């Protein structure tokens, strides 16, 4: 069978389709977005009537997935690592309810923060919830693991977390497709009360989860994804997690590694296999992308045992993603000096597109705040975060989805008025609405700019849950009708716009200004599509 | 046989079209391939690169080790220099010499070209001009690919088939223009040999 050239994300998606999911839920976030995009565009998924589409946020996605599992069907929910923070309440509790239909949660981590505000390691969430975790080392393994993940989710009646990192998510390789499974029939959980987490039930369910830890660990010991390779040089044993294994191999072109290796791709950590490598080697080197989770556990707080090398003792850098060279250095390899980057090469940060509607909005916002002291603009996660850079330098914060509104409120409550928030349309319905309700209920003196470009732009133009609903939502939350303005962010309307900006910024209460103009990228795509359709009709 | 290639440029310049042709060709040639891409609109207008690895043996890492890259294939001259620490001593630097100026401190072109020419194996082509003269301004990337073609370790015919496959949906005319652009780049590189 011809191999498919798939991104890690796409291998996950195809694996889920072939494992017999009935639905997929997600909120876009780099590097996880292509999972849902692939399923949405898959004819295979359409033929099988698999439910697809973007949720308002990761929590609603996680809960919908849990509901589908409750009904006995298999379901995938995917998100970026910080999305799991948003979904955490439902995620942690899903370990207590357990799963009925197979439930797989995919978290895509971003070590080195290519496109994120932190590099948190989702394996800690898996350990926190006490559920099995899988961490593929290749695109093929990502595909294979999806089938296996749904198997163990149903066998152990537990959600399973799959953790990938950017380098796997966004790298393409050949993948062999080998399974096509029917979907489940609707079937209620065997234990009728397991999803009612009243304390009495929850205590019982928690004890079951604790008892099942031994079963999960046993599965890790026997898993074909955890492999022990013996070696003759016992002075050092090497434990790898996920894609770190590839960087180890890369340093041995003939794959003749003299040391014993334990490749861990399934958690809980297989205790017997770890003991075996620990007892047979003088020292251990732990290679893992992200935080030093395995290293910390093996080392222990007092570090009284054998020497454990890794990110904590400086053998590897404490932060950032691993690379073949970093791993090579940890193995004592010397690398020749390579050519430096010439001094004339200048940084080229990403920037707002030519013709982006945010450009005018930031210029006008800067103008309208000239009469106040600086540092008043609380912003959020999206393309418009680039407003922090030159030439705009228009925003002062960017923390997490929705924080623009609530941080502005807190600052205003402290007496720092006027306080302005800048948030995108999709981010507003993701996590901004509840904060706006808080501000209305407190009559906090904030002006909220909801930059409505009718899409989730930064991740590539996915459908925004806010589309066509923003004014109604603001009004329903209690923002006064007279203090909600939709403006056209174009220089030719500057005088009218400035009057509105200045008046509402000075207003002591909650006001909302909605600069509305479609994202230049989605416009271009739409026009291209229209042209194509026209051409097709013309040739008919 | 292995070729480790870094494709570079500015977000929106379409480096992935080059990667896709090489990828399709590598599959047809029965080679292993790994291709790490940069995704997300956040990269628009910023520097972007892709690590493309092809080999007759199984490939381990998605990332190319430093100093082992066989070729930097760039659609923008300053961007071709950003990845020099990755390039092997004997590696090729092949680039479009048309600058994409979207930063205030873009260096003098003379200095950029001096750096490019200091790499023993270099090819710098005004692909934008050639493509325009050819009547297909959008085929500049295929000229660059053509210039790389003698060094890719893949038969020219297989690469041409890949171009046909990639542009299949765009019709005969687009295919032919891109094949012509590819041939033009190949011709320039062969003159260098």
Starting at the edge strand found earlier in the chain, the sheet holding B87-96 runs A4-7, A171-175, B32-36, B47-55, B2-10, B69-74, B87-96, B121-125
Contacts of A342 in chain B (CB under 8 A): 81, 84, 115
CA distance B73 to A396: 38
User: What does the pLDDT average to over A420-449?
Assistant: 98
Tell me how far apart the alpha carbons of residues B80 and A367 are, in angstroms, rounded to a whole number: 39
Whole-number average pLDDT of chain A: 96
Q: Which of B61, B79, B85 lies at the smallest CB-CB distance from A247?
A: B61
Chain A residues with CB under 8 Å of B36 CB are 167, 170-172
At A116 the pLDDT is 93
CB of B165 closer than 8 Å to CB of B129: no
pLDDT of residue B40: 61
Q: Are A31 and A162 in contact (CB under 8 A)?
A: no
**Three-state SS across B104-171?**
CCCCCHHHHHHHHHCCCEEEEECHHHHHHHHCCHHHHHHHHHHHHHHHCCCCHHHHHHHHHHHCHHHC
B30 at the A interface (CB within 8 A)? Answer: no
pLDDT score of B11: 87
Q: Do A461 and B41 touch (CB under 8 A)?
A: yes
Cβ separation A170–B103 shorter than 8 A? no
Percent of chain A with pLDDT over 90: 94
B37 neighbors A172 (Cβ within 8 angstroms): yes
Select from A63, A163, A171 the least CA-distant residue to A119. A163
Q: Which residues between 148 and 167 in chain A have a beta carbon less than 8 angstroms from any beta carbon of chain B?
A: 167
Determine contact, residues A159/A99, Cβ cutoff 8 Å: yes
What is the per-residue pLDDT across A245-304, written as a single tens digit (0 to 9) for each?
Answer: 999 999 999 999 999 999 999 999 999 999 999 999 999 999 999 999 999 999 999 999
Among the partner residues A34, A339, A459, nearest to B87 by beta-carbon distance? A339
Chain B positions touching A171 (Cβ under 8 A) are 34-37, 51, 62
What are the tens digits of pLDDT across the range A160-173? 999 999 999 999 99
The C-alpha of A191 sits at a distance from chain B's nearest C-alpha, in angstroms, of 43
pLDDT at residue number A540:
62
Chain B interface disruption, residue of A138, A338, A389, most B CBs within 10 A: A338
What mean pLDDT, rounded, does chain B reach?
93
Calpha distance B34→B55 (Å, rounded): 9
Q: What is the DSSP string of A521-536?
A: HHHHHHHHHHHHHHHH
Strands B32-36, B2-10: pairing kind: unpaired
CA distance B62 to chain A (A): 7
List Cα–Cα distances, A482 to A421, A446, A495, in angstroms: 19, 15, 19
Q: What is the pLDDT of residues B122-176, one digit of tens each?
A: 999 999 999 999 988 889 999 999 999 999 999 999 999 999 999 998 899 999 9
* Beta-carbon contacts of residue A8 (< 8 Å; ≥ 6 apart): A136, A139, A142, A164, A168, A169, A170, A171
Contact A460 B47 (CB under 8 A): no
B39 with A246: Cβ contact below 8 A: no
Residue B16 pLDDT class (50, 70, 90 cuts): confident
Average pLDDT, integer, range A70-78: 98
Average pLDDT over residues A122-145: 98
Tell me if B37 and A7 make a contact (CB, 8 A cut-off): yes
Report how far residue A394's alpha carbon sits from residue A380's, in angstroms, rounded to the nearest whole number. 12
pLDDT at A169: 97
* CATH architecture assignment, domain B2-192: 3-Layer(aba) Sandwich (3.40)
pLDDT band at B12 (very low <50, low <70, confident <90, very high): confident
> Does the pLDDT of residue A206 top 80, yes or no?
yes
Strands B87-96 and B32-36, how do they pair?
A: unpaired
Distance from CA of B85 to the nearest CA of A (A): 5
Given the structure tokens 């030093």, which residue do they identify? Answer: A292
Q: Residue A121 pLDDT more than 90?
A: yes
Q: How far apart are the first and last CA of chain A?
A: 36
Segment B113-123, tens digit of pLDDT: 999 999 999 99
Q: Do B115 and A344 touch (CB under 8 A)?
A: yes
Quick check: B41 pLDDT over 70? Answer: no
Compute φ and ψ for A321, nearest 5 degrees: -75, 155
Question: What pLDDT band is residue A242 in, cutting at 50, 70 and 90?
Answer: very high
Alpha-carbon separation of residue B106 from A344, B51, B98 (angstroms): 8, 25, 13
Give the three-class secondary structure for A469. coil
Tell me whether A60 touches chain B (CB under 8 Å): no
For residue A2, the model assigns a pLDDT of: 74
- Chains A, B: CB contacts within 8 A come to 147
Would the pLDDT of A539 be above 70? no
Residues in B 92-151 with any Cβ partner in A closer than 8 A: 102-103, 105-108, 111-112, 115
CB-based contact A383:A461 (threshold 8 Å): no
Query: Bigger pLDDT: A185 or B20?
Result: A185
- DSSP character at residue A54: B
Is B174 in the A-facing interface, judged by CB distances under 8 Å? Answer: no
Q: Cβ distance A152 to A268 under 8 Å? A: no
**What is the Cα–Cα distance from A330 to B158, expressed in whole angstroms?**
40
Q: Does residue A296 sit in helix, strand or coil?
A: helix
* Mean pLDDT across A334-344: 94
What gap in Å lies between CA B39 and CA B33, rounded to an integer? 19
pLDDT in tens, A2-55: 789 999 999 999 999 999 999 999 999 999 999 999 999 999 999 999 999 999
The SS3 assignment for A446 reads strand
| A246 and B CB contact within 8 Å | yes
Counts for chain A of helices (H) and strands (E), in that order:
21, 18
Q: Is A344 helix (H, G, I), strand (E, B) or coil?
A: coil
B105 pLDDT more than 90: yes
Q: What are the backbone angles phi and psi of residue A496, rounded to the nearest 5°?
A: -60, -45
Is A334's pLDDT higher than 60? yes
pLDDT at residue A429 greater than cutoff 90: yes
Q: Which pLDDT band, with edges at 50, 70 and 90, does A70 fall under?
A: very high
The residue among B71, B64, B74, B72 whose CA lies nearest residue B13 is B74
């Amino acid at each position: 069978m011809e191999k498919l050239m798939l991104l890690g994300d796409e291998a996950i998606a195809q694996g889920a389709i072939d494992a017999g999911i009935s639905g997929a839920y997600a909120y876009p976030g780099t590097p996880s977005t292509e999972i849902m995009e692939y399923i949405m565009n898959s004819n295979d998924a359409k033929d099988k009537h698999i439910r697809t589409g973007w949720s308002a946020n990761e929590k609603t996605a996680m809960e919908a997935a849990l509901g589908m599992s409750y009904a006995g069907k298999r379901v995938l929910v995917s998100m970026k690592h910080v999305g799991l923070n948003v979904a955490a309440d439902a995620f942690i509790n899903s370990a207590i309810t357990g799963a009925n239909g197979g439930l797989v949660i995919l978290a895509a981590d971003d070590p080195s923060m290519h496109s994120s505000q932190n590099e948190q390691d989702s394996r800690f969430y898996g350990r926190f919830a006490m559920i099995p975790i899988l961490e593929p080392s290749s695109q093929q393994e990502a595909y294979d693991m999806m089938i296996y993940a749904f198997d163990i989710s149903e066998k152990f009646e537990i959600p399973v977390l799959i953790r990938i990192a950017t380098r796997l998510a966004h790298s393409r390789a050949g993948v062999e497709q080998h399974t096509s499974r029917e979907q489940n029939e609707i079937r209620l959980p065997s234990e009728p009360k397991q999803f009612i987490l009243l304390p009495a039930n929850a205590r019982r369910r928690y004890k079951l989860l604790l008892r099942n830890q031994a079963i999960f660990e046993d599965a890790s010991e026997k898993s074909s994804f955890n492999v022990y390779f013996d070696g003759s040089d016992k002075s050092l044993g090497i434990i790898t997690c996920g894609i770190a294994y590839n960087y180890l191999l890369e340093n041995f072109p003939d794959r003749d590694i003299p040391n014993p290796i334990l490749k861990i791709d399934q958690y809980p950590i297989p205790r017997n296999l770890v003991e075996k490598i620990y007892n047979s080697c003088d020292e251990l080197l732990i290679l893992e992308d992200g935080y030093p989770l395995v290293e910390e556990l093996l080392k222990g707080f007092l570090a009284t045992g054998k020497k454990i090398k890794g990110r904590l003792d400086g053998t590897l850098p404490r932060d950032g993603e691993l690379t073949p060279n970093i791993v090579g250095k940890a193995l004592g390899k010397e690398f020749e000096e390579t050519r430096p980057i010439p001094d004339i090469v200048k940084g080229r940060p990403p920037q707002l597109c030519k013709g982006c509607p945010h450009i005018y909005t930031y210029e006008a916002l800067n103008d309208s705040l000239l009469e106040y002291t600086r540092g008043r603009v609380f912003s959020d996660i999206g393309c418009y975060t680039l407003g922090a850079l030159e030439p705009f330098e228009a925003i002062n914060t960017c923390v997490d989805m929705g924080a623009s509104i609530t941080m502005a409120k807190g600052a205003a409550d402290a007496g720092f008025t006027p306080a302005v928030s800048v948030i995108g349309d999709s981010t507003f319905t993701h996590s901004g609405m509840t904060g706006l309700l808080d501000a209305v209920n407190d009559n906090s003196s904030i002006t909220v700019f909801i930059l409505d470009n009718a899409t989730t732009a930064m991740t590539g133009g996915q459908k925004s849950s806010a589309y066509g609903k923003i004014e109604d939502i603001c009004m329903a939350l209690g923002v006064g009708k007279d203090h909600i303005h939709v403006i056209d962010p174009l220089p030719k309307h500057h005088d009218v716009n400035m009057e509105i900006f200045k008046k509402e910024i000075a207003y002591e209460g909650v006001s909302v200004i909605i600069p509305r103009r479609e994202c230049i990228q989605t416009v271009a795509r739409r026009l291209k599509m229209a042209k194509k359709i026209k051409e097709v009709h013309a040739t008919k | 046989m292995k070729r480790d290639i870094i494709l570079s440029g500015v977000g929106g310049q379409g480096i992935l079209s080059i990667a896709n042709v090489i990828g399709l060709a590598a599959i047809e040639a029965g080679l292993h391939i790994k291709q790490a891409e940069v995704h997300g609109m956040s990269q628009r207008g910023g520097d972007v690169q892709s690590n493309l690895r092809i080999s007759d043996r199984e490939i381990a890492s998605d990332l190319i080790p430093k100093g082992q890259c066989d070729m930097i294939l760039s659609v923008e001259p300053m961007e071709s220099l950003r990845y020099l620490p990755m390039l092997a001593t004997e590696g090729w630097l092949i680039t479009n010499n048309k600058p994409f100026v979207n930063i205030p401190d873009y260096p003098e072109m003379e200095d950029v070209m001096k750096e490019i020419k200091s790499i023993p194996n270099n090819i710098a082509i005004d692909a934008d001009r050639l493509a325009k003269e050819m009547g297909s301004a959008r085929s500049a990337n295929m000229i660059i690919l053509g210039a790389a073609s003698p060094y890719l370790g893949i038969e020219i015919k297989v690469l041409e088939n890949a171009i046909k496959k990639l542009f299949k949906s765009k019709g005969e005319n687009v295919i032919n223009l891109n094949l012509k652009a590819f041939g033009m780049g190949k011709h320039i590189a062969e003159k260098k040999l």
